[in-house]
Structure 1
Amino acid sequence: MNSINVLLAEDHQIVREGLRAMLNLEPDIKVIGEAENGRQAVELVNKVRPDVVVMDIAMPLLNGMEATRQILQAFPGTKVLILSAHSDDAYVAMVMAIGASGYLIKQTAAHVLPEAIRAVHHGKTYFSPIIAKRRNHQKQKDRDQGELPGKAVPTLSAREMEVLQLIAEGKANKETADELHISVKTVEKHRQSLMDKLNIHDTAGLTRYAISMGIIENSVQVTII
């Protein structure tokens, strides 16, 4: 029996250890790599070519949404299963639009993660039960009422997402430029583009937006074991 090769992308070591220990009990699932930030996840996918990536959304350097977008653009055959502390419908809609195959809430992931990995590996979508129930209810409501989809979230480029995350993490323009290997002038251009697209005109507002979108974590930490 061929194993499903899995990459774990999660910045909290204790969570990664718990996930790895749990998945190691499954005879058909093999953890072949671990990443502690989004950039490392993208690099490792290129190196080890997993079948499934279990991806946290809020990670340093490069958030899980942008890492997922880059991974699926380069390796469309890879399946990405989102693992997040956030259960808001907006988060789910965003990552599914990017191309993720499923979405699990951290608090309940331990009970369904192996099943979810198998499902997405075989081309299905998988959601935590509470999310699946809400999605089905909303779809039925929209059909019954003939409602149109809600207002779309502004589309940010890959570089804008990276700049937004670094701004929200408190990096100055020079630090952001050094981190991304671009000029300060280019950082300033991306910052202005972000403000124009989001209609947000100060750093505090951009930071609040990044937190609300799950791009960076708030101070609350959640464990799943």
Structure 2
Amino acid sequence: MIRVLLADDEALIRAGVRALLGTDPAVDVVAEAANGREAVDLTIAHRPDVVLLDVQMPVLDGLDAADEIHRLVPGTGVLILTTFSEDAYIARALGGGASGFLLKAGDPRELLAGVHAVADGAAYLSPRVARHVITELSGGRLTRATTARTRVATLTSRERDVLALVGTGMSNAEIARRLHLVEGTVKAYMTSLMDRLSVRNRVQAAVLAHEAGLVAD
């Protein structure tokens, strides 16, 4: 069972998202929050697998809440669910504590797919956001590729194998099966390579894998 905490300052939105999540028997909404501070406190209390956060909320916004949750409860995945797709929001979310970014205007199936992906330790972007990120990455690509390859060169061959599979969107469990490892070993590799590459989450690691040419376009 995937335990989810839902945070949005609009009660009607919370009710709609809860109803959608309720169509999946593998998902259980364990708590709801009406602001970012409450979301952080309830995450500490309930330790859910995934927190769904709106961006613009009172007391503490969703992006700051995501950072706090990532720092205080690192075992919980954070998925941003918002109406806002501005560059600044996407950049802050993916550069901070979030493992995924969804738009409320997207296909409802994306929400369930995102919850499952983040709960499984993978990163998830809605297709619209993913296209936007890829477009933004295309500028200055050669310079970034050179820098990325230099950073990746410090990794062991097995760490590069793991990073390449992260770049394809695989979870730790899927990587373990592909490389014939136990999941705990993959987690250890992830901790090591993220520390050595100075990346904060799987989204940043996946982007670096693409820039370094570890993933076929």
Residue of 80, 85, 88 corresponding to 2:86: 88
Deviation string for 1:181-220 (max 9, x for gaps)?
Answer: xxxxxxxxxxxxxxxxxxxxxxxxxxxxxxxxxxxxxxxx
1:61 & 1:82 partners in 2: Cα distance?
17
Shift of 1:98: 1.2
Deviation beyond 3 Å, 4+ runs, structure 1: 144-149
Contact 2:53/2:80 (<8 A) preserved = yes
Structure 1 spans left out of the alignment, 5+ residues: 150-225
Taking only aligned residues, the RMSD between alpha carbons, in angstroms, comes to 2.0
2:38 & 2:146 partners in 1: Cα distance?
39
Deviation string for 1:123-167 (max 9, x for gaps)?
Answer: 211111111012123323332465999xxxxxxxxxxxxxxxxxx
Shift of 1:122: 1.3
Structure 2 spans left out of the alignment, 5+ residues: 148-217
What is the TM-score of this pair, normalised by structure 1? 0.61
Paired position in structure 1 for 2:140: 142
Within 5 Å, which residues of 2 pair with 1:191-202?
none
Contact 1:52/1:117 (<8 A) preserved = yes
1:82 & 1:49 partners in 2: Cα distance?
17
Contact 1:142/1:148 (<8 A) preserved = no
What is the TM-score of this pair, normalised by structure 2? 0.63
Write the letter of the residue equivalent to 1:15: I
Paired residues, number: 147
Deviation string for 1:101-125 (max 9, x for gaps)?
Answer: 0001111152310000011111211
1:113 aligns with 2:96: no
Deviation string for 1:14-70 (max 9, x for gaps)?
Answer: 000000011111011111110011111111111111000000010011111111111
Cα distance change on mapping 1:91 and 1:148 into 2, 3 Å: farther
Query: Structure 1 stretch 5-14 or stretch 61-70: which is displaced more?
Result: 61-70
Cα distance change on mapping 1:146 and 1:96 into 2, 3 Å: closer
Select the structure of larger CA radius of gyration. Answer: 1
Write the letter of the residue equivalent to 2:62: G
Write the letter of the residue equivalent to 1:36: A
